[in-house]
Amino acid sequence: MKALGPILIIDEKSKKAKVLVQWLHELGCEKVDISSNGYSGLEYLGYETYKLVFVSTTLPLLKMEELIPKILKLQPALKIVLIGPFLEEPLTAHIENAVSVHLEDIDNRKELEKLLRKWEEKELRTLSVKIIGATPVMKEYFAYLGKIQKSSVTVLIFGESGTGKELTARALHEGGARSEKPFVTVNCAAIPETLMESELFGHERGAFTGAVEKRIGRFEMADEGTIFFDEVAELSPVIQSKLLRILEEQSFERVGGNETVHVDVRIISATNKDLKKLVRKGLFREDLYYRLNAISIYVPPLRNRKEDIPRLIYYFLEKYLIKTGKTGAMTVDDKALELLKKQDWPGNVRELENVIMRAMVQSEDSVIGVEDLSFTDEKNQDEKSFNRPMEDFIVDKMMGVETLYEGQLINRLSSWDELEREAIEKALIESDFNVSKAAGILNIGRMTFYRKMKLYAIKAKNLYAIKTRKQT
């Protein structure tokens, strides 16, 4: 039961609660906490992230109608199991919908184990691909995703930027027969056209200047697995033709080679553009379009599922807790939550993720308020926001912005201190080592800039020497 993670029991320490703790340990649940009342249970939820909470219906002090909303506000994705007799006053529809199941009698261990096993299997299936959503439009999306996961035919994913197209591709891969095999990503917009052929098909030694050894390409890396073409509309006509051949024959030759290489790959593509329109304009091959579009799936924009915003927020608060240097659970106050729900989110989930991480960095306590929020789209802001170049630089890096380096796409993830130091050094170099200008670039005070230089032992003369060596 490790996949279910930590479990909390909120009960007045009855004998049945103790038996439940013992059962859960025997079933393999490593961490089980027990709280004697609703108030202390909420304290537990403020410090620890749980996957499942058992709540007694006979708790003193807090009624269910008060306790359940408070639980969900702290951890919206939490599964709630009520244990004990049914209440004399029926629960409201909102509370009833939030409860996963009500077990009047927990003496039936087999029934409890069956329930937990079912949840664990579901958790394991989605453990590495976390797509958050419970709105009607997302339920339709999940249902269709489940139908096409087992197939090996090509899939074309449509959706605006930031909606989660790559996550969808990963979910298709991990839910299918090729899940144990490689999943290889190709960002068509990030790889220069001159490098694309070598990246996809590899090259032989001596194929061109600098090809000092044989190198396999992305298709060979993905053999028996899945290759994902993100922003497929950006492929050049030459690469489109070569991709069409792969789809038809599952074979190719490396650059500078004569040997035909055979592969078995599933191709999944994604785009935020209207490919039919590009076909009509002659910018995208019609035959390739139909080959890629054997099955298509649409990822809805965030503005069409705003009820999911609180769930996404609390997921990001948990995800970035350690990276942003916070020591305890964080939450969002009501005014900030309402402001976040009002936004149109043209950048979708990725934009929301960026805003939440930026707010976590900016917030000085465990509650994010309106003053901590900063939006990049000025048309959509209802409150004053601030230009924070240094935070922008660090947030982008911490979110794992992809960088092309020596032909390989890498994620640059570092600690906050390392990234702040990098931002300061970069500003110094860009300003020709003028501290006032460098501070202006990062939108921080001159004395603050000096303090940070001292903190990280940054010497302008050392940076100048490095810059000079690189230029010579």
**pLDDT of 125-155, one tens digit each?**
444 567 888 888 988 898 888 888 888 899 9
Lowest-confidence region among 204-208, 330-334, 384-388: 384-388
Domain 414-471 has CATH 3.40.50.300: no
Average pLDDT, the chain: 80
Lowest-confidence region among 17-26, 240-249, 369-378: 369-378
The reply to whether domains 2-125 and 136-298 share a CATH topology is: yes
Contact 313, 340 (CB under 8 A): yes
Class of domain 302-398: mainly alpha
Q: Is the pLDDT of residue 106 over 80?
A: no
Tell me the CATH number for domain 136-298: 3.40.50.300
Stated pTM of the model: 0.59
b/e 278-304 (16+ beta carbons within 10 angstroms → b): bbeeeebbeebbebbeebebbbbbbee
- Specify the residue for token string 């000092």: 212
pLDDT tens string 271-293: 999 999 999 999 999 999 999 99
pLDDT tens string 178-209: 888 899 999 898 888 888 888 899 888 888 77
Give the pLDDT mean for 223-243.
94
Query: Where in the chain are the domains?
Result: 2-125, 136-298, 302-398, 414-471
Q: How confident is the model at residue 118 (pLDDT cuts 50, 70, 90)?
A: low
Query: Domain 2-125 belongs to what topology?
Result: Rossmann fold (3.40.50)
Contact 390, 420 (CB under 8 A): yes
